[in-house]
């Protein structure tokens, strides 16, 4: 008999979580203006709002924190982190920051200017915000298949080479770089193939343009390449990682995902001009160059986390739990972005709440319904997150409208996955009775989903 799959770790410490009543949740979500970001953590039973900074660190990481060097300049912790990043990526210039959006802010302050066009595959919220906030344009060149949630292809996060070629033909002089998000979060945690990364590099070289990777989940992307792409089955995650980054000029990293730390990020590049141009903004916005926005103890934990999470067993345990939840949803007929992503399940909200018009934000409505059902906090990745068009100021309804259930690393058990699936089943079974959504009462001009205030209709 073949042995069943089990985790590649054992539990050493636990944290209590509390259940609440439907009546309590009705009151709490109303006080939060129907925005789950405004809920208190103790009002949440299972928290799937993000996998960013919410993972459980290993014993080695906790031990490393005790050895953190908190020197203002030249800390040994920085050089440990720099050595690990260079080993994994080949990039020699490293700037630590307090998280991924800070890395974008520092680097884009140097690279992005008014009127620029930055093509890529479904820029995530902060990336798009940092581009549009500088009066530039984030141009989506993702393959069209990503918009068809029930289509099952292995690399749904890919850049469309024809769209990218067209962008460079039309706007070459306005394009400072090409950005590739690995994995593609907005499209549903979908990976980008190594073949596609080679295609992007070839097009970039043809026009003399640099390539930047948004690398928050690069290790999960490497796992999918190993599992799904011909010729990589016998390569290690670290070998695949090195090949991926050989095709880029630099990276921004939210280390709170695949680095499995609670806070941290960095810029890494092989280009001395990018480093020289960005480092002044690091000092201005983040801190001195050898700590940026990070403590020494966090840099130690990150160096260890990057090492551990580029090993196959760790990634397999994590991604198989996401697959487990997906299989439960398959049993109940609940539509999600297929195949299951690396870090989350993305429920196709308009296919669930068929009576809620797009103007009433189906994914946000489904997010609220799931919270009311069982105290489970997901996150809308859809029409609210898309913000308004910076020119017309109209809501953007041209993308997917998804409820993201992001699974923290090494935090919840499969029993929690069963609760999530059952709660979604309950909402799905009463979907015909959900005919109205929400409207925006107040919003910020950029990245509105974090602070938006809503009213139920």
Give the catalytic positions in this structure: 72, 124-125, 214, 216, 257, 449
**Crossing angle of helices 76-89 and 296-308, rounded to 10°:** 30
Contact (Cβ atoms closer than 8 angstroms) between residue 150 and residue 158: no
How far from chain centre, in Å, is Cα 9? 24
Asked, as a colleague might, if the bond just before 339 is cis with ω within 30 of 0, I would say yes
- Across 22-89, the runs of DSSP E, i.e. the strands, are 46-47
Residue 212 β-bridge partners: 179, 250
Residue by residue, DSSP assigns 321-369 as HHHHHHHHHHHHT--BSSSP-SSEEEEEHHHH-TTS-GGG-HHHHHHHH
CB neighbourhood size of 5 (10 A): 12
> Is the CB of residue 188 less than 8 Å from the CB of residue 149?
yes
Other beta carbons within 10 angstroms of residue 20's beta carbon come to 15
**Can you name the residues that pair with 377 across neighbouring β-strands?**
47
Cis check for the bond before 429: say yes or no (omega within 30 of 0).
Answer: no
The pair of three-digit structure tokens given for residue 17, joined into one six-digit string: 């979580």
Contact in structure between 34 and 454 (CB atoms under 8 Å): yes
DSSP secondary structure code for residue 70 in this structure: -
């Amino acid at each position: 008999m073949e042995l069943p799959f089990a985790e590649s770790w054992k539990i050493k410490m636990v944290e209590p979580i509390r259940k609440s009543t439907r009546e309590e949740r009705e009151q709490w979500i109303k006080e939060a203006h129907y925005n789950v970001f405004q809920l208190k953590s103790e009002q949440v039973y299972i928290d799937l709002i993000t996998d960013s900074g919410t993972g459980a660190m290993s014993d080695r990481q906790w031990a490393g924190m005790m050895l953190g060097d908190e020197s203002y300049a030249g800390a040994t912790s920085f050089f440990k982190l720099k050595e690990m990043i260079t080993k994994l990526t080949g990039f020699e210039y490293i700037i630590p920051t307090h998280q991924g959006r800070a890395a974008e802010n520092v680097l884009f302050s140097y690279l992005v200017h008014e009127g620029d066009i930055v093509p890529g595959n479904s820029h995530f919220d902060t990336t798009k915000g940092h581009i549009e906030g500088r009066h530039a344009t984030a141009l989506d060149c993702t393959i069209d298949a990503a918009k068809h949630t029930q289509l099952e292809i292995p690399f749904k996060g890919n850049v469309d080479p024809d769209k990218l070629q067209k962008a460079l033909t039309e706007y070459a002089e306005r394009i400072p770089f090409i950005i590739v998000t690995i994995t593609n979060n907005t499209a549903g945690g979908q990976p980008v193939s190594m073949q596609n990364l080679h295609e992007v590099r070839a097009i970039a070289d043809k026009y003399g343009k640099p390539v930047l990777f948004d690398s928050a989940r690069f290790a999960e992307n490497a796992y999918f390449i190993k599992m799904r792409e011909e010729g990589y089955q016998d390569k290690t995650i670290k070998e695949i990682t090195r090949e991926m980054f050989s095709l880029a000029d630099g990276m921004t990293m939210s280390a709170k995902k695949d680095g499995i730390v609670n806070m941290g990020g960095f810029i890494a590049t092989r280009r001395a001009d990018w480093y020289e141009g960005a480092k002044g903004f690091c000092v201005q916005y983040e801190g001195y160059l050898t700590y940026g926005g990070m403590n020494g103890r966090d840099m130690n934990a990150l160096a260890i986390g990057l090492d551990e999470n580029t090993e196959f067993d760790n990634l397999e345990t994590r991604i198989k739990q996401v697959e487990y939840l997906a299989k439960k949803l398959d049993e109940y007929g609940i539509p999600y972005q297929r195949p299951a992503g690396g870090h989350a399940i993305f429920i196709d909200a308009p296919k669930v709440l068929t009576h809620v018009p797009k103007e009433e934000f189906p994914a946000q409505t489904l997010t609220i319904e799931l919270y009311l059902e069982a105290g489970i906090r997901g996150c809308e990745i859809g029409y609210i997150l898309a913000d308004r068009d910076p020119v017309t100021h109209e809501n953007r309804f041209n993308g997917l409208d998804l409820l993201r259930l992001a699974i923290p690393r090494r935090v919840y058990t499969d029993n929690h996955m069963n609760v999530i699936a059952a709660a979604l089943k309950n909402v799905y079974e009463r979907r015909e009775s959900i005919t109205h959504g929400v409207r925006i009462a107040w919003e910020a001009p950029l990245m509105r989903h974090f602070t938006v205030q809503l009213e139920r209709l």
